[in-house]
Chain A
Amino acid sequence: MTELTHINELLAKELEKSNLDGFEILTSFRKDALTRYANNVIHQQVESGSTFTNLRGYKGKKLGTVSASISENNISKVVQNLVETIKVSPEIPFFKGLAKEQKYQNFKPIGENYTAENAAEIVSEIVNIGTDLDPRAKLFGKVERIKLDYALLTSNGLEGSHSIRLNDLKILSIIEEGEKRGFGREVAANKTTAKPDVETLTQSAVQISKDTLEAKSVDVGEYPVVLAPQAGAELLSYTLFQLSASPYHQKYSPFSDRLGEQVLSSNFVLYDSPLNPESLMATPFDAEGVPTKNQNIFENGVPKSVFYSILSASEFLGDPSLASGLMGLPYSDYSFGGSGPSNISMKTGDSSREEMISETKRGLYVQTFWYTNIVNGPKGVITGLTRDGLYLIEDGEIKHAVKNLRFTDSLLKFFKSVDLISNTQTALLDEFGNAGNIPFYKLENLRFVSKSKH
């Protein structure tokens, strides 16, 4: 961290010579380490470490951005690049400056990463447990370690540093028998080197793959669905996208002009907890230096906030101080640049997975959704497919595994029917690397429109 702070100071010194009206520096060191396994062997064992800086500066209403690999050797070049970018940039009429002096609620970061050796041992254990349970099982997945240190310095006197450490485990079991293939998946994410419950997770993944090997076809149509946390997280992610400032203000979101209105079920409560040190992506400030805050995104089915960056708050609200503090940190190449919550939780209820199943006359249990996408923004229609675990529930019991189905439905409809929510949450990362604490939950109906072949 000292090195990052030192680079920021050197950059600031150089920037001060450049006659700009203001600047913002976010320098980070990211170490991606990944042990990836397939067909019971490790096929990818990688580790990389890079120091990057993201610089913004302005002169009048001209704003420029550069990001670059950074070391003491290229400080002047990077600053020069920024100055030239600003020089040729046109004015942004609504631009009113960057983050102003504010106080961060600092806290000590929690987290530790596995070593490559730990990760290889975990994989070895998964493979041994899985193949002992069923010699036909082939195990796939990853043990990823994310380490991000970042330091901020701005001309408005903002200064801060923090770090994120987390480990992400994925287990997929595949069993093949002739033309048939069964798939089962489990995931877990944590912030400590405490060993995950590899045995239980592997057992579950293998059992699901055994079950889905014998999956039967069911008719398409509307079904009550009990969603495992990883399936539930996917639907939540695509709901949150629609609260981004651009689709909201361009009337391309189902929530456009409906902030403060009860549009979803009254027990639908989503909140973001970046200031809880236990949150996987906990941070006291965002990538623009705006303080983060714990906040409700949906309160009893009512959307409470739109996600603004400093620039979009200036553009749409005329006030940069209304930025949400949700600008993504560079913890992944996939997630830097957008504004949205990274530590989302769905409020728990008083039910359980077992109770939800026992209270279902005829419905489906979904382990995972996959390749979800927005079909019609204004109407909130999204589509996606089940994957790695789909079961038919009849008369309060899991009857058998089901071949995968595609849903296409409006979130305005299916999230109006949140029936039950479990009293436990699972920590996980979604498809885009955002963290979540997601319970099991049940929707009264979700419309499935077509069948897959497996």
Chain B
Amino acid sequence: MNPHDLADFAITNTPEGVSLLEFKYMEDKTDYFSTRNKVIIGSGKDDSKGFGIRVLLNGAWGFSATDKLTKESVSETIKRAVKLAKAASLCNPHVTLTEEPIVVDTVENPIKIDPFHVELEEKLEHFVTAEEAARVDPAIQFTNSVYVAAQDYMVFYNSSGTKIDQRITWNGGYVTMTASGNGDTQTRKFKDDMFSTRGWESMKEFDLVGQIPEKAKELVKLLEAPQMKPGRADIILNPSQLGIQLHESCGHPTELDRALGYEAAYAGTSFLKPNLLKENFMYGNEKVTIHADATIPGAIGTFYYDHEGVKAKKLELVKEGVFNDYLSSRETALKIGRKDSGGTMRSNGYDKIPLIRMTNIVLQPDKTGYSLDEMIAETKDGYYFNTNRSWSIDDIRLNFQFGCEVGYRIEKGEITGLVKNPTYTGITNEFWNSVSAVGRPDEMEVLGTPFCGKGEPGQTMYTGHGGPPTRFSNVQVGLLE
């Protein structure tokens, strides 16, 4: 049955006493494959469709979902959601919501080449050729590749009158190389975090085959490279490592549901408590301005409307160092005195409730700032880190430790060699207060991951992050012996 008809039926049958009913139909499809040593080792297609109904009754939420697409099933699902809301009212949360504009819209992200219409053979060739190009040395014993294309189609109606039809398509992939020798094994992923809300053209436009041999040669050299020495040094992060740093130490702690305790028992809380908004808390220094921008064309965390029917926004989370805003929802925004939701609620399927999710978390470039070369030339004793290998941060998002795949030693303004197994650690706000240089707009990249996990039951979401190369002063590096 047509999802719009089901949605109409659900809204028409909103039970008395229910102050809000949301109907969300989602049809998700995914195509994927993985290879090892140029041989496909897994491929498939996932399709799921169904609808979820969320009701607000006497200040309590109830949510129920099903894959049975009939009017009878809509009636049953409404009944179950109401029953659940009644049970929840035993510990009544007194939920109230921001008033949001009523929207009637049909939207779809622009793609030039639909990845679902590209033959598997062509996609495979793209990656297998890159794997072949990566075989620059016998030490490289394994090459792997991964490719994913996905599409979320959503029909969202609510009892206030909002009617949204939204289709978002994204894709991305990478090659991983593994080299063994000299009693060691090292890996490199390329190109890391290259996912976007674009079509297959995004993969074709990038010269993977042309660029991968250089990374492969570097990987082999890493086997002989010295282990990073522990100490304190200046570090420069490339856009992808900066991205994961932003994701973990800015994106997650500015999720307002987390700050208010809704994720406390699982993903944790946040050091960014709401009172810090009023206190002009210095999250970083004046060089640090961070946006959560759901409107960047083609970025992986981009969409038009969130799963509460709120238009996608650009939020200024940190303004010249000052903590300025949260990622929020209709319920949570009101709790900190905001009149509007931040429009960041998304779910990864019809059977999941929406949660506050990152959009694109981006460190804003410095228009009159440094190029990467200039940044390196000005660094006396430091490192340039590329490509995340390991990430970990505490449950209030302060103590972090990251490992990277490769480190470049910088001495007296020049790169003098490679170091292997680089790591660095710090405390979030101290780290962002140590920024000594932010790169220029022409060197920034917005990358991301489609696998950001959150919530119970667990959900994954496509989220973006990035910025220009950025330098931090006097950072603890090299914890491994």
Contact = CB atoms under 8 A, between A and B. Distances in A.
B392 A116 contact: no
B65 A138 contact: no
Given A50-B351, A252-B185, A452-B399, A333 B41 contact: no
A28 to B, nearest CB: 12
Given A45-B61, A124-B91, A371-B394, A251 B457 contact: no
Given A172-B264, A332-B458, A64 B43 contact: yes
Interface in B77-122: 80, 83-85, 87-88, 90-95, 119-121
Given A49-B65, A332-B457, A332-B458, A373 B392 contact: yes
Contact of A49 (B61, B66, B120): B66
Interface in A87-130: 88-90, 92-94, 116-117, 119-121, 123-124, 127
Given A44-B353, A127-B91, A371-B392, A376 B421 contact: yes
B43 A89 contact: yes
Given A48-B64, A449-B425, A81 B119 contact: no
Nearest to B62: A45
B42 interface: yes
Contacts of A333: 348-349, 457-460
Interface residues of B, number: 86
Nearest to B45: A66
Interface in B172-193: 178, 180, 184-185, 187
Interface string A358-387: 000000000000111111111101011101
A65 B457 CA distance: 25
Given A45-B85, A69-B67, A140-B265, A37 B91 contact: yes
A329 interface: no
B187 A252 contact: yes
Residue from A41, A119, A312 whose CB has the most chain B CB atoms within 10 Å:
A41
B18 to A, nearest CB: 14
Contacts of B47: 66-69, 78, 81
Interface of B: 36, 39-50, 52, 60-68, 80, 83-85, 87-88, 90-95, 119-121, 124, 141-142, 178, 180, 184-185, 187, 260-266, 268-269, 271, 348-349, 351-353, 389-396, 398-399, 401, 403, 421, 423, 425, 427, 453, 456-460, 476, 479-480
Interface of A: 32, 34-52, 63-69, 71, 78, 81, 85, 88-90, 92-94, 116-117, 119-121, 123-124, 127, 138, 140-142, 144, 170-172, 174, 181, 183, 185, 246, 250-252, 311-312, 315, 332-334, 370-379, 381, 383-385, 387-388, 404, 406, 408, 433, 449-454
23 contacts: A36-B262, A39-B260, A39-B261, A40-B91, A42-B88, A42-B93, A44-B63, A46-B62, A47-B64, A48-B63, A50-B65, A50-B351, A68-B46, A68-B48, A90-B124, A185-B265, A251-B178, A375-B403, A385-B393, A387-B394, A404-B394, A404-B395, A408-B480
